[in-house]
Amino acid sequence: MSEIRHMANCTNNNRRLARFYQLILGMEEVWNEEQNSPYAFYVTDGYFNLNCLQIHQTIAEVKRDVGINHFGFKVDSLNEIKTKLSQLDPPISLGSRPNDGRYTEVRILDPDGNGVDVAERGWGTRDDKNLPGVRYVGIKTNNPERLAEFYKYIFSMKEVDRMDNPRTESRAIYLSDGTINLGLIMNPPVPREGLQVLGFQVNGIQQVEERLKEARGLTYKGEPPLAMEPSVFGGPYKTVSLKDPDGTHLELSEEGWAV
């Protein structure tokens, strides 16, 4: 079974970003004993690992923009994934990662060029599916069908929903790994391409709002306070929007996403 278990967000202040996810969404620090680095700060909801990755000249990432950089799958067999990738036209090769203690074992690029980490051993988390918990990842794409076929074939994801909006010329395909929903969306009302949304199922939206009011030190002087907004993405799921301190789009839902 292949499961979405990881995401990395590049940031200029990884402690502030990690503090946001800890204070507002209840995530806990994951200490990687093999990678004692000031540039990676891992947090978890008990199941999903989020790396608040400090932008620095020594980091391995080619793309270093603030925001979501890549996401990752825990898989049963790297050899099986390698075989499937070799059967694509054109074939995709597994790219190795630095042997410096990081969790990721290999990196590939999906057909849109999004970074996808693949690991058998996972990212140092348990299997506790708590709330708040990550239940959604969103990708902006010009070809949802092509990406859907890729993730279905390589990672055995299942299609659970579709959406068409002729008025806005938007289209979406929603896949599931059994726990987390992956939305492949054409023409969402956001400028950024590729990986752009992280979704949390929460016990109560009001509870998150109260935490936002109580938290201190999450914004710089002169920045507006963090606040909930009506969702800009629409779609078949009932959500509200929130941006983390770096401006990454978060979608919050009490009901969750289809899996």
**Alpha-carbon span 199 to 30, nearest angstrom:** 20
pLDDT confidence bin for 34, thresholds 50/70/90: low
User: For the segment 150-167, what is each residue's pLDDT rounded down to a tens digit?
Assistant: 999 999 999 999 998 777
**Alpha-carbon span 63 to 111, nearest angstrom:** 17
Q: Delineate the domains of the chain, giving CATH numbers in brackets.
A: 3-119 (3.10.180.10), 133-253 (3.10.180.10)
Q: Quick one: pLDDT at residue 99?
A: 58
Percent of the chain at pLDDT above 90? Answer: 68
128 pLDDT exceeds 90?
yes
User: For the segment 102-111, what is each residue's pLDDT rounded down to a tens digit?
Assistant: 666 788 999 9
56 pLDDT exceeds 80?
yes
| Residues comprising the chain, all counted | 259
Q: Quick one: pLDDT at residue 4?
A: 98
100 pLDDT exceeds 60?
no
pLDDT confidence bin for 62, thresholds 50/70/90: low
Q: Quick one: pLDDT at residue 200?
A: 98
| From 6-20, 33-47, 88-102, 135-149, the region with the lowest mean pLDDT | 88-102
Q: Quick one: pLDDT at residue 40?
A: 83
Sign of CA dihedral 204, 131, 134, 174: negative
pTM of the model: 0.93
User: For the segment 204-217, what is each residue's pLDDT rounded down to a tens digit?
Assistant: 999 999 999 988 88
Q: Quick one: pLDDT at residue 29?
A: 92
In this structure, what DSSP letter does residue 251 have?
Answer: E
Q: Quick one: pLDDT at residue 211?
A: 94
Phi and psi torsions of 60, nearest 5°: -80, -15
CB 35 within 8 A of CB 41: no
Give the E-state strand segments of the chain in sequence order: 3-11, 28-30, 40-44, 49-54, 67-74, 95-96, 106-109, 115-119, 133-140, 158-165, 170-176, 181-186, 194-201, 229-230, 240-243, 249-253
Q: Which residues pair with 67 in a beta bridge?
A: 10
